[in-house]
Structure 1
Amino acid sequence: MNATPGRADAFPPQPSPQGGEGVREPASRSAVLTSPAGGGGREGDAPRIGIAGAGLAGRLLAWRLLRAGYVVELFDAHARADRSSAGPTAAAMLSPTAELAAADAGIHALGVASLSIWPQWLAELHAQTGREVYFRREGTLVVAHAADRGALDHYTALLRAHLPAGGEDASMQALGGKQISALEPLLAARFTQGLYLPQEGQLANDQLYAALAAALDAGLAACGGAWHEGAAIDVVEPAALVDTHGRRHGFDLAVDCRGIGARNGVPGLHGVRGEVLTVFAPGVSLRRPVRLIHPRYAIYVAPRPGGQFVVGATELDSEDAGPPTLRSTLELGSALYSLHPEFGEARVLRLAAALRPALPDHHPVAGLDAGGVWRINGLFRHGYLIAPALVRQVEQGIAEALGAPGPQTELRHAA
Structure 2
Amino acid sequence: MKTLPFDAASVLGAGLMGRLMALALARAGCQVALFDAGGPEADGAAARVAAAMLAPLAESAIAPLSVVRMGHHALGRWPALLASLATPVFFQREGTLVLWHRQDAAEATRLARVLERTGAQVPELPAMQRVDAAGIAALEPALGTRFAQGLFLPEEGQLDNRALLTALRVELEALPNVQLHWHAPRAPGDFTPGAHERVIDCRGLGARPQWPALRGVRGEVIRVHAPEVGLTRPTRLVHPRYPLYIAPKPGGVFVIGATEIESSDMSPASVRSTLELLSAAYAVHSGFGEARILEIATQCRPTLPDNLPAFRHPTSRVLQINGLYRHGFMLAPAILDMAMEWLADGRSALAERLGLTTTETPA
8 Å contact kept, 1:359–1:378: yes
Structure 1 stretches of at least 4 aligned residues deviating more than 4 Å after TM superposition = 248-251
Question: What TM-score do the two structures reach when normalised by structure 1?
Answer: 0.79
Deviations 1:41-98 (A, max 9, x none): xxxxx71100110010000010111111111000010001142321000000000000
Once the two structures are superposed, the pairs formed by residues 395-406 of structure 1 within 5 Å of their partners are: 395-400=340-345
Displacement of 1:169:
8.2
Structure 2 residue aligned with 1:86: 46
Structure 2 residue aligned with 1:230: 183
Give the Cα separation in 2 of the matches to 1:390 and 1:166.
19
Displacement of 1:375:
1.5
- State whether structure 2 residue 14 is matched by structure 1 residue 61: no
Q: Residues 62, 169 of structure 1: CA spacing in aligned structure 2 closer, same or farther, 3 A cutoff?
A: closer
8 Å contact kept, 2:72–2:125: no
The one-letter amino acid paired with 2:299 is: A
Structure 2 residue aligned with 1:350: 295
Once the two structures are superposed, the pairs formed by residues 359-398 of structure 1 within 5 Å of their partners are: 359-366=304-311, 368-369=312-313, 371-372=315-316, 373-398=318-343
Structure 2 residue aligned with 1:48: 8
Structure 2 residue aligned with 1:116: 76
Deviations 1:101-122 (A, max 9, x none): 0001100010011111100010
8 Å contact kept, 2:205–2:301: yes
8 Å contact kept, 1:105–1:163: no
The one-letter amino acid paired with 2:69 is: A
Displacement of 1:396:
2.4
Structure 1 residue aligned with 2:126: 170
Structure 2 residue aligned with 1:200: 156
Displacement of 1:171:
2.7
- State whether structure 2 residue 263 is matched by structure 1 residue 327: no
- Mean CA deviation greater in 162-171 or 347-356: 162-171
Displacement of 1:250:
4.3
Structure 2 residue aligned with 1:42: none
Give the Cα separation in 1 of the matches to 2:125 and 2:80.
26
For residue 179 of structure 1, the aligned residue among 135, 140, 145 is 135
Identity of aligned pairs, percent? 45
Which secondary structure state, in structure 1, belongs to the residue aligned with residue 255 of structure 2? strand
Displacement of 1:160:
2.2
Which secondary structure state, in structure 1, belongs to the residue aligned with residue 218 of structure 2? strand
How many residues are paired up? 340
Structure 1 residue aligned with 2:230: 285
Which secondary structure state, in structure 1, belongs to the residue aligned with residue 84 of structure 2? helix
The one-letter amino acid paired with 1:369 is: H
Give the Cα separation in 1 of the matches to 2:61 and 2:125.
17
The one-letter amino acid paired with 2:180 is: W
For residue 76 of structure 1, the aligned residue among 36, 52, 73 is 36
Deviations 1:370-410 (A, max 9, x none): 54331111000000000011011111222336xxxxxxxxx
8 Å contact kept, 1:171–1:199: no
**Which residues of structure 2 form unaligned runs of 5+?**
347-363
Structure 1 residue aligned with 2:354: none
Name the Cα RMSD after superposition.
1.8
Which secondary structure state, in structure 2, belongs to the residue aligned with residue 316 of structure 1? coil
The one-letter amino acid paired with 2:179 is: A
Displacement of 1:151:
1.5
Question: What TM-score do the two structures reach when normalised by structure 2?
Answer: 0.90
- State whether structure 2 residue 175 is matched by structure 1 residue 216: no
Deviations 1:107-155 (A, max 9, x none): 0010011111100010011xxx2x1100000100000012211111111
Displacement of 1:336:
0.7
Structure 1 residue aligned with 2:66: 106
The one-letter amino acid paired with 2:11 is: I
**Which residues of structure 1 form unaligned runs of 5+?**
1-30, 33-45, 243-247, 402-415
The one-letter amino acid paired with 2:188 is: V
8 Å contact kept, 1:97–1:171: no
- Mean CA deviation greater in 293-302 or 162-171: 162-171
The one-letter amino acid paired with 1:109 is: R
Give the Cα separation in 1 of the matches to 2:120 and 2:215.
29
Structure 2 residue aligned with 1:271: 216
8 Å contact kept, 1:84–1:353: no
8 Å contact kept, 1:281–1:347: yes
Give the Cα separation in 1 of the matches to 2:127 and 2:207.
36
Deviations 1:289-337 (A, max 9, x none): 0000022222100000000000002001101111111111111111111
Displacement of 1:196:
0.4
8 Å contact kept, 2:309–2:322: yes
Give the Cα separation in 2 of the matches to 1:249 and 1:134.
40
